[in-house]
Structure 1
Amino acid sequence: MNTEQILIEIREANLSYLMLAQSLIRADRDQALFRLGISEETADLIGLLSPAQMMKIASGNTLLCRMRVDDEMVWSLLTNHGKGAANDSVSRLHANILMAGRHQEAA
């Protein structure tokens, strides 16, 4: 994949993210804050963006969203390396609890 293709993919991801974020915010603000890991102020701004503003913002060369899983323990729980399917739901629940706690700390 060349540089131009990567930039196109970033722009598409940005637009998809903004559209999803705005839709979630308008449908259920509290869930959106939790699921997106954004602040109230950011939700206010995204919720009010016009389609033209979203296109302009999305056209940048920097990815707007980021990986919220930046902890080895959470990755281990999500990937469930070496464990059976029976523990999968427990591991995912544990990972979600850890990430939810981090969202509360950031807010």
Structure 2
Amino acid sequence: MDAPLLDRLRALFSGRTDVVEKRMVGGRAFAVGGRMCCGVTGDGLMVRVGRAQRDATLAEPHVRPLRMGERTVAAFVVVDPDAVTGDDDLAAWVRRAEDSLHD
């Protein structure tokens, strides 16, 4: 798991009472308002994009489906670490994840 990426997410959510960090298979996840929003998997940033936006998001560079075993998770994608090296990039993906919570 990418510990520096996890620490950057913790910093983004710091001080928020509506965010809970949880252990998940292969990494850590952050739930916002009780719904899983984003997290760190063994190999990247897991981001909720919603079912409606998933295919369009997969067409973007450095984005691939989130797989749990043989299953593909419909509302989530994984963003490669190279795409979130800057804090602005990471914050933009987190905003997208939070926006998808309302879909």
TM-score (norm 2): 0.29
Greater relative contact order (Cα 8 A, min sep 6): structure 1 or 2? 1
TM-score, normalised to structure 1, is 0.28
**Greater share of helix:** 1
* Greater C-alpha Rg: 1
